[in-house]
Amino acid sequence: MATVKSVCVYCGSSSNVRESHRDAARELGSALAQAGLRLVYGGGQVGLMGLTAEAALAAGGMVTGIIPKFLNRHEIGHTRCTELIVSDNMHDRKYQMAAIADAFVVLPGGFGTLDETFEILTWKQLGLHDKPIVIADIDGYWALLLALMANQFKENYVRPEHRELFRVARDVAKILPILALEPEPRFSLKKNWL
Ligand code: AMP
């Protein structure tokens, strides 16, 4: 069973999205706080990112936001985070998020969320880390992505054993139970390999 103390959440920065996705972000933020887990996220106040952080803080949770200095205005760094780290650049932000967290959860999001998801998946595929990854397929939002990935396996572009790189949760309530069943990572992020 994985010992998880902090969870990195990747999700959209858009606010103009379905209410069910906004609810999922709030529900996850609260669930993390209630479980005593630190939220690690991109540090913004906008979109599902902001809602997740707000809910975690409102429930008394610890929140570490990491935002690159060039985005600090655009995404508006969340001033009420327990800890707000302003990184030099996007690469360093993503590295720090991955290094600090014990597990990763992907909520609905846009291109940035996809970038972060595939980065963390490919780093795991390459053996750079061994931490659990859960894709939260809220309202089937990621169905087309999961279908594309199924085709990648079918066409032998991704090896069959790499199906085990990630799990899928159909709703927020299943995320923490799935994480609890994941094996203990054998190592954290290997920085000097990146
Ligand atoms: P999005 O899913 O596009 O709303 O973005 C979610 C998060 O990903 C935000 O914190 C963005 O700063 C970040 N992001 C956006 N574009 C990129 C990118 N090209 N590479 C890495 N992160 C990004």
Q: For ligand 1, atom 13, which residue shows the shortest CA distance? A: 112
What is the CA(89)–ligand 1 centre distance, in A?
12
Question: pLDDT value at position 194?
Answer: 61
CA-nearest residue, atom 18 of ligand 1: 112
Angle in degrees, CA 75, 143, 91, rounded to 5: 35
State the distance from the centre of ligand 1 to the C-alpha of 116, rounded, in angstroms.
7
Residue 189: per-residue pLDDT = 79
pLDDT class for 106, splitting at 50, 70, 90? Answer: very high
CA 174 / ligand 1 centre spacing (Å): 25
The model's pLDDT over 16-56, given as tens digits with 9 standing for 90+, comes to: 999 999 999 999 999 999 999 999 999 999 999 999 999 99
Give, for 22, the enclosing helix (H) or strand (E): helix 19-34
Minimum CA distance residue for ligand 1 atom 11: 112
Q: 67 phi and psi, to 5 degrees?
A: -130, 135
Question: Angle at the Cα of 138 (from 135 to 31), degrees rounded to 5?
Answer: 80
At residue 193, does pLDDT exceed 70? no
What is the tens place of the pLDDT at every residue in 134-191?
999 999 999 999 999 999 999 999 999 999 999 999 999 999 999 999 988 887 777 6
User: What percent of the chain clears pLDDT 70, i.e. is strictly above it?
Assistant: 96
Q: What is the pLDDT of residue 110?
A: 98
Please tell me the distance from the alpha carbon of residue 130 to that of residue 124, in angstroms, as a whole number: 6
